[in-house]
Homo-oligomer: A and B are copies of this chain.
Amino acid sequence: MAKRDVVLGIDIGGTTSSFGFVERDGTCLAQTTLPTMPHEPATFLVERISRHAREAFTPYAASHQLQGIGIGAPNANYYTGTVCNPPNLDWEKSVPIVNLFRAQFDLPAAVTNDANAAALGEMKFGGAKAMRHFIAITLGTGLGSGIVVNGEILYGADGFAGELGHTVVEPEGRICGCGKRGCLEAYVSAPGLCRTVFALLAERKQESLLQHVSFHELTAKDVFAAATKGDIIATEAFAVTGRILGRKLADAVAHTSPEAFFFSGGLAAAGEILLEPARRSMEENLLQIYRGRIPLLLSGLQEVNSAVLGAGALIWSEMEH
């Protein structure tokens, strides 16, 4: 019997990385998550992922043929196959990630920004199948974005277009992981939400469950849990975060006129407590022609990891071209 073709889809995140074997129809096999260990060199992560992927593939080796490798990574450059100065990883300046994985598997490989991969997954397998213009936003350790224009990822001159996380919210604002100040990602991301909690605790005198958690220990999940219990600080932190997000979504609409936004990643799982204030603030800041017309949607691929499917979608479309 002929073997079924699959590709290895890899999503490298600031905290965790995932991989899975993606069939042409979007079926994802053996999805596995492992810690990224951001302070290790890139080569260690590539070796670790490759070793786990080979092990995970063993049960499928008789029935499936591995054809290529798609990678989503922060600050990845599709044009050059490299990862450059990733803001949340202590890697060297420029990592030839495509060549590193090619050396491991001797198969075609391609890389794109993790958020571009999420956008490709959304377009190939998710809620954006019928759309030509949309923006996918990943909310986790950072804020990534993939902008689709005329059915294609917007890469721009350098391959780095679609970095909404590093647009400016406050010119003299919070220090960001990228070295700049006031970036959107420093406000709207899992750590950004936690920073907002501490800013609110500092400003206000309200009782809060979050007064008992250290800066080091606090996670976005704690904030969400507190908000669902009616904690005022936690609820306000989501409202502040949503308002900032909405304002920058309106800016993104003014740039590219998308049909919709799709959200994925850990913080997006908070859902309406974040998206409702974001929607309100976006609407307030949209030109009249756009009002009420641009939905904020959760990725339909959330459960199976849209970024792994997207990394798979990337190499599938590379091989089909």
Residue positions of A touching B, CB distance < 8 A: 75, 84-85, 131-133, 147, 149-150, 152, 154-164, 166-168, 171, 178-180, 247, 250-252, 254-259, 284-285, 287-290, 293
Question: Which of the residues B152, B160, B255, B288 comes within 8 Å of A161, measured between beta carbons?
Answer: B255
Q: Are B251 and A287 in contact (CB under 8 A)?
A: no
Q: Are B157 and A259 in contact (CB under 8 A)?
A: yes
Q: Which residues of B contact A157 (CB under 8 A)?
A: 131-133, 257-259
Q: Are A158 and B290 in contact (CB under 8 A)?
A: yes
Q: Which residues of B contact A252 (CB under 8 A)?
A: 255
* A75 closest partner in B (C-beta): B289
Question: Which of the residues B133, B168, B171, B179 comes within 8 Å of A156, measured between beta carbons?
Answer: B133
Q: Which residues of B contact A164 (CB under 8 A)?
A: 254-255
On whether A154 and B250 interact (CB within 8 A), knowing A85-B289, A160-B287, A287-B166, the answer reads no
In Å, the complex CA distance between A85 and B287 comes to: 10
User: Which 8 residue pairs across A and B have the least CB separation, nearest first?
Assistant: A156-B257, A161-B257, A133-B157, A167-B251, A255-B255, A157-B259, A163-B254, A167-B254
Q: Are B161 and A251 in contact (CB under 8 A)?
A: no
Q: Which of A75, A133, A156, A252 is most buried by chain B, counting CB atoms within 10 A of its CB?
A: A156
